[in-house]
Amino acid sequence: MSDADTTMEFVPVDDSPFVVIVTGMAGAGRSTACNVLEDLGFFVIDNLPPRLISRVLDANQLAEISRSKIAMAVDSRTGVHAFGELRDQMARLNKYGVRSGVVFLDADNDVLVRRFNETRRPHPVSGGTLAESIALEREALAELRGAADVLIDTSNLNVHELRRRLSSVFADEHEGSGLNVSITSFGFKHGAPRDADIVLDVRFLANPHWVPELRPLTGRDQAVSEFVLSSDDAKEFLDRTVGLINFLLPRYRAEGKSYVSIGIGCTGGRHRSVAISEFLAETLGEEADVIVQHRDI
């Protein structure tokens, strides 16, 4: 393809598409993400050099595609230099009023090493050892990761869990729901979720673990919920937290943010964080599309 082909002026259309860029660390689940988005009605283009994004969205090409939702997978196979081009292309889309967002898939380095060793596939970045290649790719993607609209850590997710996470973000896009809120309870002793936009620590609340009849239960059980939520500290915490989130949600919408992830943590992730998460999900459900999940039960 000639240079003229790759630098032509993008021609916006009246009914601009919704464009999702799927990127992230090699081995973090890009292929699975593309399959999920395809199931959700996206026209998916895999391994697309960033410089061709405007070409794909040219009015003539768009008419042939006849889709309003397009997902483009961009990864290190096109070279780490391409991520600089991706930033330029995203700015260009915004200039022409095309709605777009970036989904960044990540995982711990040791998880990525294990996945590559299991599949025996070569890493797309040449850096000597596998660990060195991963380190080079992570360095090249650091800025893009920080600017992503949706960050998903797949270290502890299986294929089905990743599918559910992506479905919760994009399943209602055609309905224009505007903002999806994911609330995840977790235990700090198992590690905080790395993909949370907001993390709240509720370990200051009285712990049902030390009440023998409550210990085997979870925060979903009414007895535990009443124990956790009835204290003055819990009531004030919830009033302040709901007020803060309700303050943030319309401002996130105004900035075009489509997905917010909130982590609620206690020690083990079974009692306090679960009860608080259930309450927040029910309360915030009047303001946004809310999904609650309990990672450690």
| In contact, 241 and 200? CB cutoff 8 Å | yes
What is the Cα–Cα distance from 286 to 283, expressed in whole angstroms? 6
Per DSSP, 74 falls in state -
| Residue that has been written with the tokens 């196979």 in this structure | 77
Ranges in the chain annotated CATH 3.40.50.300: 3-175
Per-residue pLDDT tens digits for 151-182: 999 988 888 788 888 887 776 554 444 578 88
Burial class (CB in 10 A: 0-12, 13-18, 19+), 276: buried
| pLDDT tens digits along 235-284 | 999 999 999 999 998 888 777 677 788 999 999 999 999 999 999 999 98
List, for residues 85-113, the tens digit of each pLDDT value.
Answer: 787 888 777 777 777 888 999 999 999 99
pTM above 0.75, yes or no: no
Gap between the Cα atoms of 176 and 170, Å rounded: 10
Task: For 200-234, write each residue's pLDDT tens digit.
Answer: 999 999 999 999 999 999 999 999 999 999 999 99
Percent of the chain with pLDDT over 90: 36
Q: What is the fold of 3-175?
A: Rossmann fold (3.40.50)
